[in-house]
Structure 1
């Protein structure tokens, strides 16, 4: 018979064993849950550390701007050379509430980024704000140097940055964009919407970087030689209206526009208006021929005093004999030009200036285009002074555009800073008869071979042009210091005119060896010669004497 006490003991043991098993099982479950929770926590910590190390900490409740995602299309010259592009760079920011020691952090940052301003840096690091930008556009090397400092409270984010690999070259044409990738000047501003479109193609400008460099370099040497305040140069295709080069000196670096002076950022070629002087005289010659108020052979008594209203018209180098139109232009006679203008009349003169675009801004794509300064009251004296480039102030670019019809057969071609293609065809209108343009072209060639423009003669390229020297106006009259503006408007080659070249100097000084002269014939004309000789081969313009020699003919005097 079974002992009852044994049975009770056995049941008790089984109950105890079950309780122990259940406790162990529950413990194991808790352990497993703890391990899983711990693992999840470790994973989250690792992910957070990875995020912090790669992208920098995200400031809680900060005013951190959203990332700039603009890709922005490149800008190139007509040959595909990159003028502006976009690169990814690093921007450094601080969370001041996490910075341990402001002074120590500032010193550490200055050791790797010495260009930072210490006082401003300390102010940002000690700010009560949650977020402060410290430096934008860091290179990978600079970013790594800051990262290696191990300073808390600092972070990075990647941002696109607009970069200009050509530096100062063509800076006034290309312009620049701000840190937010918004175009502020030049082509960057003019084509901002197009450049900002997703997957937009590169924007090809009309300029040729080789020609641009040659013009800018010649002007830089000219400023140094003649101690001028500034200089401007334009090269334009007179058949297509494409601006091949437009230089304004001094230049600036669009990679750092904030450090550039106001003077260097100013585009003197398109924004500075000058009374350009006698470079207007070829227009007056065209006016006289087009209105048929004179002929090429009629002679005018320029050797005698000539008075209009209460003003005597003077010539710098008075002729002792009467002069016909070609000599009036080649010797740059103010009296002869005034007589021709008065014959044609104010209405015809104003209409021609309007047709040539000299009463309006230059109608090209850039915002940098100054309005001309034109007389409100147009009396006889206005007609006279404007005929030789006084009493009206225009930009060098405007005069270059207006002079193209004088040499291209009489067509005003709308200028452009974009490369011509099917989407940007040539737009032109006739403003002169072909015969008038041919006669003016011949006279401008005569200026270079036998007149005031001899120093512009680039052998073999048939340069034609006109000098212009004008006193600078001041308060109450013209500058009593004798400051002048000198210019040379030209075209080449004479046999088949293709390119307009305009060179202007503001306040050039006399140079030893020039016998005290500082007029356009002694500086702007010389620079024109240098520019033409440098750019003609780039533009595939063959020397006329070389071409004729290959055909077995001697070089003609007209092409010397």
Structure 2
């Protein structure tokens, strides 16, 4: 019995010991859990303190600011066209704004373009942080600081600035508020300009030439009450665009205030039936294919009918004309005869070689494709030969004429300055002999033909007028014209090609009721050449200049 009693007592003692051990373990676990939870609470409290009450808390709430800079754009001579400067952006912490409406009104007194209703709504929101305005000047920043509102603050950010705006606005383009390229060269070279430590990028234009061309084009648009216009100067040996003007234009620093018409790039986006400026190309085609010779006579003095349509000349000749004077006197009849010899298939081949059936291959996205007829039969072949029925941009046409006069070699246009070591891609279109013949014929057009008003002494100007009626439903509108003059100089060694295009110019005093290219586009081109010729290397016609100097000496 005693042994059994001892065993029971031992079992009880063992149970008590086990129970005590379990109780102690549970207590330790609870203590550890309490300590762990306390530590978490401390961390959370600290995080909340840092996030909500730290002086820099609002900076962690704001959207990421623009920290990167952007490389400069310059003209070919180093003149800055686009640069990046520091500006100030205004933000607000709505919880610290006492009177949103009053604050918004005060800000609008300093920044008049602010929308008071929008800003009031922003300042009354429950957000921790809002951007109010960006691109403030130091003077505006100080004025807002002087308001003494504790809920307003500033962030220094880069801002894209165009010192010469609106000069070359369509070529340069602009960036958005975040410094991303949105149009023009800014868009075309966005990655290159935004790269770390990117060097400045030189464009092909000459700011002096661009300025002169812009002034003369705008003056002509006003004088002739035209809707718009374009003018381009191109180095046909390198493809560089020395001047690239579309009017009306706009201020790149305030592109948002510009109208769609102002922002539209007429030089490379507008497509027109450009009229008789196509005739030099048609003549080059027949000479290259040996379908005619320069001394062959054409009976342009007689009525000429194609299918069921009579081809008319604005100033009919009373005698037959050779090929030189078919161009100089701008005979539609003579050109139609040549087009029938070429034929539709061969004509399209040459136009494709000249880049007139495709988008111009240059850097800007703002480049329109031509408008091409679906049914290209005999009548289309005839009308296209003198510039009706195929709509192209002024840039496309000046590049094609440049090819015909650049020893017959096509060089694609570029808005980048060419370096001596960089050879542009080229393709031969016409032979050297045909190119030389065409240069002589286009020189005759300026000295003795429809382009007399563009004949500037000393530069051996070659050229061709072009007047086209605007298409309308069922035909063409004789009261709405597009006039152009395509030119090249110097005659002794063609280096520069240019085009001037005016949309719906009107007859004015001194034009005898005419609104055709010989009375508006040609004199505009002459005025431009007279101003820019002395600025351009290799622009003077050496034989003519020497003759003029000798005449002056005598």
Q: Please confirm whether the aligned pair reaches a TM-score higher than 0.5, indicating the same fold.
A: yes
Cα deviation, residue 311, structure 1: 1.5
Aligned residue in 2 for 1:24: none
User: Root-mean-square deviation (CA), in Å?
Assistant: 2.1
CA contact (8 A) 2:489 2:541 kept: no
CA separation in 1, counterparts of 2:266 and 2:551?
A: 44
Aligned residue in 2 for 1:59: 58
CA contact (8 A) 1:458 1:529 kept: yes
CA contact (8 A) 1:232 1:504 kept: yes
Give 3-state SS (helix, strand or coil) of 1:207's partner. Answer: coil
Give 3-state SS (helix, strand or coil) of 2:107's partner. Answer: helix
Aligned residue in 2 for 1:16: none
Cα deviation, residue 479, structure 1: 2.6
Aligned residue in 1 for 2:354: 356
Give 3-state SS (helix, strand or coil) of 2:267's partner. Answer: helix
Cα deviation, residue 465, structure 1: 0.3
1:515 aligned onto 2:512: yes
CA contact (8 A) 1:545 1:554 kept: no
Give 3-state SS (helix, strand or coil) of 1:84's partner. Answer: strand
CA separation in 1, counterparts of 2:380 and 2:247?
A: 32
Q: In the alignment, which of 300, 303, 306 is matched to residue 305 of structure 1?
A: 303
Aligned residue in 1 for 2:154: 156
CA separation in 1, counterparts of 2:248 and 2:422?
A: 31
Q: From the superposition, tell whether residues 507 and 132 of structure 1 become closer, same or farther in structure 2 (CA, over 3 Å).
A: same
Cα deviation, residue 374, structure 1: 1.1
CA separation in 2, counterparts of 1:291 and 1:119?
A: 70
Which TM-score applies when normalising by structure 2?
0.87
Aligned residue in 1 for 2:234: 236
1:399 aligned onto 2:381: no
CA contact (8 A) 1:61 1:130 kept: no
Give 3-state SS (helix, strand or coil) of 2:546's partner. Answer: helix
Cα deviation, residue 389, structure 1: 0.3
CA contact (8 A) 2:458 2:548 kept: no
User: Residues 72-111 of structure 1: matches in 2 within 5 Å?
Assistant: 72-111=70-109
Name stretches of at least 5 consecutive residues in structure 1 with no aligned partner: 1-43, 556-560
CA contact (8 A) 1:277 1:470 kept: yes
CA contact (8 A) 1:100 1:152 kept: no
Cα deviation, residue 460, structure 1: 1.5
The superposition leaves residues 509-538 of structure 1 with CA deviations (integer Å, 9 ceiling, x where unpaired) of: 111111111100011000000100100111
Cα deviation, residue 476, structure 1: 3.1
Name stretches of at least 5 consecutive residues in structure 2 with no aligned partner: 1-48
Cα deviation, residue 549, structure 1: 5.3
Between the two proteins, the alignment pairs up a number of residues equal to: 504
Give 3-state SS (helix, strand or coil) of 1:271's partner. Answer: coil
The superposition leaves residues 84-120 of structure 1 with CA deviations (integer Å, 9 ceiling, x where unpaired) of: 1111110001222221011221232223223322222
CA separation in 1, counterparts of 2:457 and 2:502?
A: 24
Q: Which moved more, 1:115-124 or 1:524-533?
A: 115-124
CA separation in 2, counterparts of 1:479 and 1:256?
A: 37
1:493 aligned onto 2:483: no
The superposition leaves residues 40-99 of structure 1 with CA deviations (integer Å, 9 ceiling, x where unpaired) of: xxxx99xx99x96xxxx643884x211211211111111011111111110001222221
CA separation in 2, counterparts of 1:188 and 1:523?
A: 34
Cα deviation, residue 131, structure 1: 2.5
Cα deviation, residue 260, structure 1: 0.4
Aligned residue in 2 for 1:213: 211
Aligned residue in 1 for 2:263: 265
CA contact (8 A) 1:548 1:554 kept: no
Cα deviation, residue 365, structure 1: 1.0
Give 3-state SS (helix, strand or coil) of 1:383's partner. Answer: helix
Q: Which moved more, 1:428-437 or 1:126-135?
A: 126-135
CA contact (8 A) 1:287 1:341 kept: no
The superposition leaves residues 476-523 of structure 1 with CA deviations (integer Å, 9 ceiling, x where unpaired) of: 32236x111000000011111110010000000111111111100011
Q: In the alignment, which of 268, 283, 299 is matched to residue 285 of structure 1?
A: 283
CA separation in 2, counterparts of 1:232 and 1:60?
A: 48
CA separation in 1, counterparts of 2:355 and 2:548?
A: 42
